[in-house]
Amino acid sequence: MYKLQEILDKNIWNNFIINSNVTFYSFLQSWEWWEFQELSRKTIIRYWIYKDTKLIWVFLLIKINAKRWNYYFIPHWPIIKWNFFIILNEIIDELKTLAILDNMSFIRFNSPITNTIENKNKFKKLKFINAPMHEHAEDTNILDLTISETELLNNIKKKDRYYINRAIKEGVEIRIDNKIDHIEKLIEMHQTHAHRNNWKRTYSAFSIDFIKNLYKVFWSNISTISASYKWKTESILMTIKFWKTCVYYIAASDIKNPKFSPNYLCQWEAIKKAKRDECTTYNFWWVSPDNNPKHPIAWVTKFKRKFWGYDYSLLHAQDLILSHKYWLNWLVETTRRINRWYYYKKPE
């Protein structure tokens, strides 16, 4: 017998994630992420599922209220210790009942399960369809940090190591701290970078409040790292750590010296910082599903893959339709995806 119940204890939640030994996890699954959602004025519910008296599942349910439709969003969840689809099949009717009572048009799962035909067909059997648009990273690139720093550096191609070594030789300065002026510099450069690349229709800046709220809730696990040359900041980024995984989440650059692009050294210092913090994986987050130069994020994907991580593909977001209003959302998101030239990796 499976029992769905709200969870209110931070330690139980985070300890469950930490001790689950799951293949893929990130800060999106932490208790702090729901605190961030609440600061962003989202309504959230944290659920746990018991089998008899044993905790076997936890997931975060976010209520998204839009002008024309409402829906439940479950980001990179659920975290499981038991068979994913057996339990989902047991609780889906209860979730649907909750959603209908809340006047939701659909339920969207952005699950942390691998992108396989088998998993896709199991969702299809439960009457889910492909979401028209992603909401979080689905194709990612992950670097194993369990090897030595020397091995990590040697795995990078010689021509790319050159940029790192040249930047050091040229006296590029690295700064790692969360002082107010450093955070403000990240926000300023991120906004400028987004505006500069807006013609591509693929890059939207996070709002100032969004970034500041991240610092509020993840303060002790967030790092701001920048690279400057002759007192000019040319590269800056933010990473967020949860347990043994560090995610490269926000970045911006204004490169004036491409011959020794400080981007490379800045990223390398972020990787070293994650290793010093005892992380076992460094997640470069969102990458394109292939090497197609026409994909909207091909330019940044090429850079991320130079650090010799491996690609990891999650199943594309799945929607369970509860109302005819869903199709208006489907039309809007499909149009947006086409206009931004996105496409997704097919399950294998």
Q: For residues 275 and 149, what is the distance between their CA atoms, to the nearest angstrom? A: 8
From the list 180, 166, 142, the residue with the least C-alpha distance to 279 is: 142
Classify each residue of 13-32 as buried b or exposed e, where b means 16 or more C-beta atoms within 10 Å of its C-beta.
bbebbeebeeebbbbbbbbb
Query: In 124-231, where do the E strands start and end?
Result: 128-130, 139-144, 173-176, 222-229
Q: How many CB atoms lie within 10 A of CB 294?
A: 8
pLDDT at 81: 59
Give the chain's domains with CATH numbers: 2-137+314-339 (3.40.630.30), 140-312 (3.40.630.30)
Check residue 49 and give its pLDDT.
79
**CA dihedral of residues 269, 270, 272, 278 (deg, nearest 10):** 160
The pLDDT value given to residue 201: 53
Joined tokens for residue 66 = 């839009």
Q: What pLDDT sits at residue 14?
A: 85
Residue 17 confidence (pLDDT): 83
Task: Report DSSP state, residue 199.
Answer: G
pLDDT computed for residue 320 by the predictor: 98
Give residue 9's pLDDT: 82
Cβ-in-10-Å burial (0-12, 13-18, 19+) of 135 comes to middle
Task: Tell me the whole-structure pTM to 2 decimals.
Answer: 0.94
| 171: region left, alpha or beta (phi > 0 left; psi from -120 to 50 alpha) | left
Sign of CA dihedral 174, 176, 180, 185: positive
The dihedral through the CA atoms of 76, 82, 84, 88 has a sign that is negative
Quick one: tokens of 191?
């906004």
Contact 107, 322 (CB under 8 A): yes
Per-residue pLDDT at 6 = 76
Could you list the mean pLDDT of each consecutive 10-residue stretch along the chain, which spans 348 residues?
72 82 86 92 84 78 88 84 81 91 95 93 97 94 98 97 97 98 97 70 81 97 97 97 96 92 97 98 96 92 96 96 96 93 91
